[in-house]
Structure 1
């Protein structure tokens, strides 16, 4: 009998899986793990770094100075990061976004533990209290103040402190924003303790600059801002920029400011300016005459160029001014004792100055002539424009 070969009932071969796209397999092969959180880093013990001269030989004070130099912010030098030249926010020290190199924090856990808060504490907090077209594109005009308050709160909680001390705050306010309480709102967080406040009034921030109106600076906001000054804030610098041809006007404004203005902190410390001139400085620079597709030929010193003049007045604690041999005005001394913030006395005006008679102050260089500075505004902007504020 012939033998037959046994036949087994085999399960069907599974179909091969389709080959993954090469780019996807490469992505999976080289994908990175999620970045560790501060808690992930700090829950592990530090390497004592006993072989590092940085930790073994240098005292903590010197080491912290080195760390601070490494983590100080600076203008981004990348050419593609530079701001456009025809904007009113491009200026010395702010020709590009400022950045901080944080590679130092990734070197070891010991360094991270010592200086993880320094980038926030050392960076000058920049805020544009203005319409969005007057601020850099990366700045969120509507939400930046709330974000700063939230960050300060988070930092203070992580540090186990009531406040986080920072080097300073710089604001670029339009006059109607300053007088409308925006600076008070910015400073009104219990978690932030800046050492210095700088207020920079640009040429195009003055009331009715488009019409070449005489310079004026109201002081009705000073009382409310003084109530928000933090314990460590002992320096307020007010920078006032205008045209070189209006130098006399801003010099007169600065003189009145020194003789009339003061800031009294909640702890009773009075910040004043020196009538002897030690707290007054001048500077100059050349900038563009073009903003928002308009070339302001009235103010040019050469085609496309405006010569700017800046005078700054700094307010220090009274005892520091006097200790350094300076003097304060009798009016300031008297009013500071009684918290007398008289709006009329704080109003700095030049009634004898007049505007330049210039029939056509600018040339409209826009392609779309339906849009120009001050047109197509929202209801809020129209209301502000009626008060002398324009984009």
Structure 2
């Protein structure tokens, strides 16, 4: 019974088999040995191009060049928010870009074989894997291509060739996790080392980490060779900072209570070293003078710097994005973090580094109250009020339909800081 159910589900999600005018040219699928991972249908189809209707009556194939079709498939198969199933606005995971569950329009691949063989890899090539090392309430529900520290096996439903063709990663992390080795740990979840070496994906180890081995000569081995991870997004949400709960008034009185982020120190919140909380400012002053900061770290501490781990464990990056969010009443603190970040560089192998390219910012309004506020933190409601829709910097983003917005929602600020790959000689 289980086997029959599986067969029905597998048949349901395959592209419809299109019979050519000459039905004798139809080529049935070749079954894989029991226990072996079944290769994609495209492998068999491309061996027998006569079984694919060229669809010459369709202007998509008869008039558009393949380069234009490529862009169509990329845009059509990029994830989108399902606004027919909007999250409750007071949910911590409800935010711009995540108003509802992510969806990918894979139904496009079911239309005909001609579209399928051109676009079957696109859902994995254009969409990132989203990795969450943060508060469980910040993890969106029922989303594809998602992994989390609470469940390392979420992506095990992906076949090895699907997993191999992913080239971008979004990680959402709490600051203490970022400074505690998340860059290395997530690289093992994604298999960045094996991808860098050109190895083949063999799915996952028993502990949930990516498994890559030297290539074989099987029919579908070229699909299972891991694509290099070239784009990485590191996101910190408003409750992910060390000092996120601190009253803004206290932050104005105490420099050590403000938001801070410094890639070349291992921990910015260390009771044994209170001076670490000032590392971001010290680093900014040193770089402004043309020097790299010296924080007096020993060899063990130097290995824990997340800024150096990026080049060590993610050597193929062409872009790095830091997406930083905070409460609207702490905008000045986030602005200062962004100012310091303009001088950051991240060393890469072979004479390259990541350097600041630009940034973007917006503000958005959420719910009137959230579960994390509690009775001891009255400043959330008192100071984090919306400023209205007037022309202000940064601009207000409308991310929900009008009937789903809160009448007096709190305001949040998001800054995206972009770094790009450059040669060291360009410094």
Match of 1:201 in 2: 236
Render the CA deviation track for 1:287-309: whole Å, top value 9, x for unaligned: 23533364553123169632222
Aligned runs of 1:1-391 on 2, under 5 Å?
34-35=11-12, 36=14, 39=40, 42-44=43-45, 45-78=51-84, 81-138=85-142, 141-142=148-149, 147-148=154-155, 151=158, 153-155=160-162, 164=165, 166=167, 168-188=168-188, 189=191, 190=195, 191-212=226-247, 213-219=257-263, 220-231=305-316, 233-259=317-343, 261-273=344-356, 279-288=358-367, 290-292=369-371, 294=373, 297-299=378-380, 300-301=384-385, 305-318=409-422
CA contact (8 A) 1:88 1:204 kept: no
Whether the 8 Å CA contact 2:352–2:423 is kept in 1: the answer is: no
- Please report how far the alpha carbon of residue 123 of structure 1 lies from its aligned counterpart in structure 2 after TM superposition: 1.5
Count of matched residue positions in the alignment of Structure 1 and Structure 2 = 279
Q: Is the 8 A contact 1:237 1:312 kept in 2?
A: yes
Contact 1:273 1:316 in 2 (8 A): yes
Query: CA separation of 1:110/1:179 partners in 2, compared to 1, >3 Å: closer, same or farther?
Result: same
**Secondary structure at the residue paired with 1:290?**
coil
Q: Distance in 2 between matches of 1:257 and 1:39?
A: 44
Distance 2:417 2:11 in 1: 49
3-state SS of the aligned residue for 1:313?
strand
Distance 1:42 1:154, change over 3 A: closer
1:196 CA displacement: 2.1
Pair 62,145 (structure 1): closer, same or farther in 2 beyond 3 Å: farther
Secondary structure, aligned partner of 1:273: strand
Q: What are structure 2's unaligned runs of at least 5 residues?
A: 15-37, 46-50, 196-225, 248-256, 264-304, 387-406
| CA distance in structure 2 between the aligned counterparts of 1:145 and 1:293, rounded to whole angstroms | 25
Tell me the secondary structure at the aligned position of residue 48 of structure 1. Answer: coil
Q: TM-score, normalised by structure 1?
A: 0.63
Q: Note the aligned Cα RMSD (angstroms).
A: 3.1
Please report how far the alpha carbon of residue 75 of structure 1 lies from its aligned counterpart in structure 2 after TM superposition.
0.3
Structure 1 unaligned blocks of 5 or more? 1-27, 157-162, 323-332, 334-391
Aligned partners of 1:290 and 1:304 also within 8 Å: no
TM-score for both structures, normalised by structure 2: 0.58
C-alpha distance in 2 between matches for 1:40 and 1:152: 13
Which residue is 2:32 aligned to?
none
Work out which of the two has the higher radius of gyration on C-alpha atoms and give 1 or 2. 1
Q: Matches of 1:32 and 1:87 in 2, distance apart?
A: 33
